[in-house]
Amino acid sequence: MTGTSPATETTADGVRSTRSLGGATPLAGRLLLCLAMFFLVPALPLLVCPFIPFFPPVRDGLQLSNLVFTALTIGAGLWIWRRFVRWTLGRAATTAITVLVPLAQVLWWQPIFDVGCISDDILRTGQNLSLVGLWVWVVVWLWWGLDRGWAALQARRPLDRDGRRIMTPVGLSLAASMGLPPFLCGIWMVLLIFQEKAGCPFMQYSLQICNWVCTTIAIVVWILIWRRRVIWTRRVRIGTILSSSLLLFVAVLVPLCCAFLSGYSWEGRSVGISSVMLGLWLMFTAFFWWPARTTSAEERIQAGIRCLRCGYSLRGLTATRCPECGFEPAMEVLYAAWVTEQGP
């Protein structure tokens, strides 16, 4: 390995990579920008919308807030990830089509069914948030191929010579994870109003039902997003199942039992308990799925070596060429990446 400058180096396969002095990468910077957007995007509509005059077809302040939120989310996503995407004509066209869907919904601004004044506002906002979350997942799949989707397009995408704009498998999963918060909020609102419209016989427990459904969706989606990044040993499987069951019990059944036994209104507290428990479960997976310890030899053998681009398992192959995406790094580069990920 020969250095070309204090901030660059050339790997054994001839690909130059850029290193910042602190070890960070452009991908890490983009992910930090996404984290900042979690605070900026919801807050900006509350600050700027009172000073923006209404214009056709915007009719009220809530619609304007949702329009600003949707436009900021889409605009920030395109701006942050634009240089990490190979913009072919087909990919640009499909991205433009996906952008039109959430924007059309917020401009159309009609509920999927009529339930009343305030309930209509909640339902419309839920529809908008759900579509924004779905938009994040769809464009992640279109741009990079979620897990191994669109492998043919990835096989024809060359590595950038400076190595700065390559979306890693972990970065892809992190980008997909950012669609979960708006999607869950939207589904929660839509389900709440749907129960009211359908005349659910258990309306006194409607919030608990919404919490249970959204918590279940969060667990399933989180596991689907990260399933190929985790070494699913027997210990990890059992721990994930037990922790998920405990999450559903504490976050949903405990407030429900308290409300049934005491007769006290636990509606507001049940939402808080579910949110707190879901956050703690996500923190638990961060430490349990990737423990801060050296993995055992058995776990390393079970995990095997994976493709640096798409994450496909290369275990049992006699060459470094990935049969899924066609990427073929030098053996030294592949081994160094495996040691860095698994530990010495």
**pLDDT tens-digit map of 294-338:** 445 455 545 566 776 666 777 777 777 777 777 777 766 666 655
**pLDDT of the residue at 282:** 92
Separation in Å, CA 282 to CA 269, 288, 339: 20, 10, 26
Q: Tell me the Ramachandran region of residue 343: left when phi exceeds 0, alpha when psi lies from -120 to 50, beta otherwise.
A: left
268 near 210, Cβ under 8 Å? Answer: no
Q: What is the pLDDT of residues 233-251, one digit of tens each?
A: 899 999 999 999 999 888 7
The Cα 47–Cα 259 span in angstroms is 37
- Alpha carbon of residue 271 to chain centroid: 22
The residue ranges of every structural domain in the chain are 305-344
3-state helix, strand, coil in the chain (%, to 5): 65, 5, 30
* Mean pLDDT, residues 245-272 taken together: 71
